[in-house]
Each structure stands twice: as C-alpha cells, then as structure tokens.
Structure 1
Amino acid sequence: MEKEKTTNWLPTDKRFVAFIDILGFKDLVMRSSHSHIYDLLSEISKLRSLIDNWKDKNDGRYSNAEMYTVSFSDSIVVFSKSDTVEDFDLFAFGIKWLFSGAIDKSIPLKGALAYGEISLNKSSQIYFGQPIIDAYLLEEEVNYFGIVAHNSIEKFFKDNEEKSVSKQILSEFKTPLKCGTISHLNLIWFKEIDNPPTDFNTLRNKIKNFQYNISGSPRRYIDNTINVIDQVENELK
C-alpha cells in the first residue's frame, strides 16, 4: 500500500501508530469472492492520494512528514515517520481520510492510536514496539466505528495542542468501549473541517445502512456509532 520514498527513516524512533480492524472480515470472506475483497482492500490503498494532495496544498510544511502503511488480512497498521508536530498532523488527517473513505465504501472499521518508540525496518519487514501492542489492545476494546487515542497520544496532544492543526478533529468524549462508556480522546473521522459543514443527518443514514449486512450483537457498533455522532453534534451546537 505504501509507495517508496526517497527520504530516510530511522530504524528506531518515536512514532505514532494506528491499528485498524476491518469489522466482519471473516463473514465478508465467506460471503464474497476473493476478487471482490481484493478490490475493497485496493480501494482503501488508493486513499493515500488524499494525503499526498493535502501535503501539496500546505506550502511545504509537511514535506518531511510521512506515513507508512502495512496491511494483512483484516488489519491495517499505519506508522508515522517520526514524532514532530507535522508528522502528527499528517498522521491524524491521514487516518481520518482513510477511515471516512472506507466508511463511504461501506467498509466498517474501528481502530486505536498510540505513541512511543517503535522499530520499523521496511526492507526486512520488522515492526515492533510497545505502542503497537498498546494500539492493538485498545482497538480490541473499541465498540463503535471509531478511532480512540491511547493515553500516550493524549499526553503528546496535550503538550502540543496549540501547535497542532489536528486539534480540529480530536476531542474527548464518552466513548463506547467493551468494558463500558468511558471518557477518552477520539479522532473524529466524520467531522468536516472546511465548508460545507458536517451533514449529521446524512451521516446517520450512512451508518444505519450497515444494518442491511449485520444482524444480532454486531449491530451494537451501529447503535453506538450513532450515539457518538449525536454526542458530537450536540457539542458543536
């Protein structure tokens, strides 16, 4: 999914990582052809062009910031190059566009973000570090179509909030987790930052349409996502 870059990545550095899960992937494999699933994953990959376009519009501010994406089966893992504020902004908006683009294509996702020291060797395909584990474990707890931030991200965001444009799409609210509803910082993938403003009614209908492919307990993700959308809309009024 990642095209080659000319700039150097340090093998070990402090980075941001997102661990994203495609919900219902096993059922999708059973119900769909191999080629259909491949096409869906390819569509997610194409969303990188949105990130590159955003970089081009910002007068070189993000020229040294990069993301690297690894996908396998039902999981997508996204790494930033380092931990500058510019890397964080590119990372946050990149995850937002990947997530919202997938939802637009009726691919349900959930995920989590974390921060810390990570070793990443592209040629040897070595990826390890506590933040990857933190993001994976938190993603397992997420109970809606959303992206929750680990406390390591919350600390970085608090320290750099005034310098980061990502504050437009990060907000703390009551978050549906499998252990209950708990206050957490979330990346609001559905919030529009330019005109036109977020169309919450259209968004709710888009989420409700997932019920045509889901029955039983998995529908809690739909209900919980709509509750989050309602919560964010009320806070923006």
Structure 2
Amino acid sequence: MDNQEKYKRYVAHFDMLGFKNATLRNPDEAWKALSSLRACMDRVLELHIKVLSTNEIISNRIKAYIFSDSILIFTLRDEPKDLISMLVLTSQIFADSLHACIPLRGGISYGDFFFNLDLHLFCGTPFVKAYEIGEMVQWSGIVVDKAVAEHYQKNPFPKSRGSPIIIQWDVPVKPYGKKKFWVVNWSVIFRRNFKKELPISVQDYYEAFKSLFGPYENLPADVKAKYENTVNFINSNLG
C-alpha cells in the first residue's frame, strides 16, 4: 500500500435521514433522491471560497466519496483553510440537498486519518467518530466534535451576518434525552432559503419530503420527532 497517506484531517460523514424506509416504500423515488444527492455533492465540490478578510481564494482542499446514501468527506491537511473548506462546503451540501428535498444528518470530527485512493481504502478515528455522532442525534443537522469546535474558536471564520456558525445546542439523542453538542448553525447561514414566515410549522417543513417518505401523519412517532426537533432548532435560532 505504497500510496497510503496518514495525516491529521477534518473528516465528515453524512447520510440521508430515512433512506432505508424511502427505498422500501418507493425505490424509484429513492433512486431519484440519491441521484440528486450525488449531483449536489459534485456541484458543491467545484465551488471556490473567497476569504473576504484576505481576498484569498480557497479550492481543492477536500475529497468526497459517496456510497449509496452515505458521504465521506475529508480534508487534505489540517490547516485553517482546510477547516474553512470543510465547514463551508459541508454546510452547502447540506443546504443544497435540503433544497432538493433530501434531509441529511452528519458529523464532523478531527484526527489521524489514513486513505489509499488507488484502493479506495479509508480508516481513522475521526471517520468513526463522525459517523457515531451523526447517527446518535435525532434530527436533520450537522454535529461537530470538541476538537473541530476548538479549532474554529481559535480562528472564528467565517461568520454569518455576525453570528458564529458553530454553536452549542442541546441535541435530542438516541434512545432518549438530550446531549449538549457543538453544531453547525445552518439555519442562520441559509436564513434566506426559508420562504415561510416564522415560526415554521413541522407540517410546512415536511411538505417537501412527502413524495419521498409519504404523508406526515403516517410516519412513526420516532420519525416525526426528528422533524419536530429539526424545526425547533430552526425556529429557535431564527426567531
């Protein structure tokens, strides 16, 4: 494995909320959603980021791979511009997917990460941690680990209309209860994407996902709770 690389990196794992049930319910709609998710990812990866304070242009700092509804994203190194790329581009993937009626949940972690691009092999504690924290939470959102939050606090870039993009939040978790996490405040970043007046109702928010998952009233209680928790986050931070 001569092409193996090991370096401390920022690593993210995302997947689609409810993809298994969507596939069992309507494979054609699930395939359309998966194709749209791939298109969102490819489009975002081509973006360039301009740092307004320095006029620096940042590009080509992350790699991303998708398998079914799971997305692995990692940075080339752990420099400040890598963190900027990770936070900005993963947030954009999340928002663009939401616009395409695809709810995502994800986690971002930091640490030693190995990969071999020739063999498509990936391994490291941040990969495991990103997966675990993303799967633990009961909502559609982005959780980051303590190391990512600390790195952001040392270099608090960028902000969205004066608000930090990483905040602490009591996030509902499996099997019950709440846990305080550092999270990406995507609702503030993409405030202009919301067309409904606040507060947004759960039914209005869910309407975009109806064709994929079916009527809201037919959802199991635990699935309804994920949408309720997401809407609570939106209204609390935009209200």
Q: TM-score range by the shorter chain?
A: 0.7 to 0.9
The equivalent of 1:12 in structure 2 is 6
User: Over aligned residue pairs, what C-alpha RMSD do you find?
Assistant: 2.8
Runs of 4+ in 1 over 6 A off after TM superposition: none
Equivalent pair of 2:95/2:190 in contact (CA under 8 Å): no
Matched to 1:159, the amino acid is K
The equivalent of 1:226 in structure 2 is 231
The equivalent of 2:171 in structure 1 is 175
SS in 1 for 2:219: coil
The equivalent of 1:215 in structure 2 is 219
SS in 2 for 1:124: coil
Counterpart check, 1:22 vs 2:16 = yes
Q: How far 1:62 sits from its partner (Å)? A: 0.9
Counterpart check, 1:143 vs 2:141 = no
* Gap runs ≥5 in structure 2: none
Deviations 1:60-106 (A, max 9, x none): 5314x521112112311111111111111111111111111111122
SS in 2 for 1:18: strand
Deviations 1:130-152 (A, max 9, x none): 11111111112111111111122
SS in 2 for 1:111: strand
Query: Which stretch shifts more, 113-122 or 197-206?
Result: 197-206
Q: How far 1:202 sits from its partner (Å)? A: 7.1
Q: How far 1:173 sits from its partner (Å)? A: 2.2
Deviations 1:3-30 (A, max 9, x none): xxxxxx9811111111112121112212
The equivalent of 1:85 in structure 2 is 80
Q: How far 1:129 sits from its partner (Å)? A: 0.5
Q: Distance in 2 between matches of 1:223 and 1:135?
A: 23
* Gap runs ≥5 in structure 1: 1-8
Change in Cα spacing, 1:202 to 1:124, as seen in structure 2 (3 Å) is farther
SS in 2 for 1:19: strand
How many residues align? The count is 221
Change in Cα spacing, 1:32 to 1:193, as seen in structure 2 (3 Å) is closer
SS in 1 for 2:12: strand
Question: Scaled by the length of structure 2, what TM-score is found?
Answer: 0.80
Change in Cα spacing, 1:103 to 1:202, as seen in structure 2 (3 Å) is farther
Equivalent pair of 2:187/2:237 in contact (CA under 8 Å): no
Equivalent pair of 1:17/1:132 in contact (CA under 8 Å): yes
